[in-house]
């Protein structure tokens, strides 16, 4: 699963630490999600989408598989 977390963070002017604090996870978790090494839970995905005032599908998307 890919995501636009880093882009959305930049738009809002948030650091990884800022976003982590807002959704109650570690900065390392945000870093891992941005590097596509960690797939967040549904609850965490919803929290992140709410912070950015976006739909989950606007933040997270599946890679095309041929």
- C-alpha torsion sign, points 40, 41, 46, 48: negative
Give the per-residue pLDDT at 63: 79
Residue 52 DSSP one-character state: T
pLDDT digits (tens, 9 = 90+) for 2-24: 999 999 999 999 999 999 999 99
Q: pTM for the complete prediction?
A: 0.90
How far apart are alpha carbons 22 and 51 in whole angstroms?
8
Give the per-residue pLDDT at 65: 66
Give the per-residue pLDDT at 1: 87
pLDDT digits (tens, 9 = 90+) for 9-64: 999 999 999 999 999 999 999 999 999 999 999 999 999 999 999 999 999 998 77
**Superfamily (CATH H level) for 2-53:** lambda repressor-like DNA-binding domains (1.10.260.40)
The structural domains of the chain, with segments of one domain joined by +, span 2-53
**Secondary structure (H, E, C), 31-51:** HHHHCCCCCCCHHHHHHHHHH
């Amino acid at each position: 699963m890919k995501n636009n977390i880093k882009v959305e963070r930049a738009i809002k002017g948030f650091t990884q630490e800022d976003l982590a604090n807002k959704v109650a996870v570690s900065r390392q978790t945000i870093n891992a999600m941005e590097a596509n090494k960690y797939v967040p839970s549904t609850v965490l995905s919803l929290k992140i989408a709410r912070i950015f005032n976006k739909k989950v599908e606007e933040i997270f998307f599946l890679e095309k598989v041929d």
